[in-house]
Structure 1
Amino acid sequence: MFELTTLVATGVIAFLVGGAVGYFILERLKPAQQSRAALEKQFSEMQEQQQAYQQQVSGHFDRTAELLNDLAESYRSVHNHIAEGAQTLHSTGISPLQPLPEGRPVLESKATPRTPSEQPLDYAPRQPGSKGALHEEFGLDKDRQRKEEAEPPTPPPPL
């Protein structure tokens, strides 16, 4: 029938082919690679969403700035109209309203340099070694000293 060598060679070849096919199937179905690919896809989608959101926010603030400039220009036009009318119609010809200058942008596009802020001066400064104004015993020592100064010391009782 079959020779032993042919049977062994067929078995080895079948084993190698089966092993190769199994290896490629396992590689395709490997959970780590599937989850990694899914995470990479999700990450790229989130990046695209973030970029779209940033563009939407930027467009919103650009449009808001345009609308505020239009509003300020409208306010300036109304103010100047009232100032001209007040100057023309006022009995002395002098109006307390002065027209606003035309032509310059109301909102500047470049940021103005900020000066460093200072702490507010509406507090009682604390002297070194003393209790501050927000301490629960603040001012109590002064009241105690005033009482002691107002009452003369009592002499010790006789022996």
Structure 2
Amino acid sequence: MYELGTLISFAAGSLIAGLILGYFVLTKLKPEQQSRAALEKQINEMHKQQLDYQTQVSGHFDRTAELLNDLAESYRNVHNHIAKGAQDLHGTGISPLQPLPEGRPVLESKPGKTQHSQQPLDYAPRQPGSPGALHEEFGLEKNHKPKEEAEPPAPPVM
């Protein structure tokens, strides 16, 4: 039938083709590869969700800032209207309400003279040349001389 050499070469070729085909099938169907791909997909979805959330938060705070600015402007308009009405309708023409300035307040960009504050002390500071608060003579007068002899107490008057 077939020569032995042809049969061996056909068997070796089939074996090599089977090994290659088996390797590709196992790598595609391997559970580790499938779970890894699923994890990568899940991580990418979570990253996209995080970016969407950050965009929503940023948009929310932008809109909140716009609404607060509108509210402040409306408050200023109402206040100025009341101040003008009080000035026009007040008997003396002088109103205690002053109109608010237009526009947003501007903060000074130049730092002024800043006084360095100090933490409050939890003890009485010692004055130079005087005893400290823990000294035994603290608070006693210096001119006070103890009497040599004690006088007897005066009898009560009846």
- Scaled by the length of structure 1, the TM-score of the pair is 0.66
What is the CA–CA distance in structure 2 between the aligned matches of 1:84 and 1:37, rounded to whole Å?
70
Question: What one-letter code is carried by the residue in structure 2 that aligns with 1:34?
Answer: Q
Deviation of 1:54 (Å): 1.4
Unaligned 5+ runs, structure 1: 125-132, 151-159
What is the CA–CA distance in structure 2 between the aligned matches of 1:69 and 1:94, rounded to whole Å?
30
- Scaled by the length of structure 2, the TM-score of the pair is 0.66
Bigger radius of gyration among the two: 2
Q: Is 2:81 the partner of 1:81?
A: yes
**Structure ranking higher in helix proportion:** 1
Match of residue 11 from structure 2: 11
CA RMSD between the two structures: 3.5
Name segments (4+ residues, structure 1) moved above 2 Å: 1-7, 29-40, 111-115, 117-122, 141-144, 146-150
Match of residue 155 from structure 1: none
What is the CA–CA distance in structure 1 between the aligned matches of 2:139 and 2:108, rounded to whole Å?
58
What is the CA–CA distance in structure 2 between the aligned matches of 1:29 and 1:42, rounded to whole Å?
19
* 2:135 aligned to which of 124, 139, 145: 145
Match of residue 29 from structure 1: 29
Identity %: 54
What is the aligned residue count?
Answer: 134
Match of residue 151 from structure 2: none
What is the CA–CA distance in structure 2 between the aligned matches of 1:101 and 1:149, rounded to whole Å?
56
What is the CA–CA distance in structure 1 between the aligned matches of 2:53 and 2:108, rounded to whole Å?
27
Deviation of 1:43 (Å): 2.6
Unaligned 5+ runs, structure 2: 141-158
Task: Determine which structure has greater relative contact order: mean sequence separation of CA pairs < 8 Å that are 6+ residues apart, divided by chain length.
Answer: 1
Deviation of 1:88 (Å): 1.3
Deviation of 1:142 (Å): 3.9
* 1:121 aligned to which of 118, 133, 137: 118
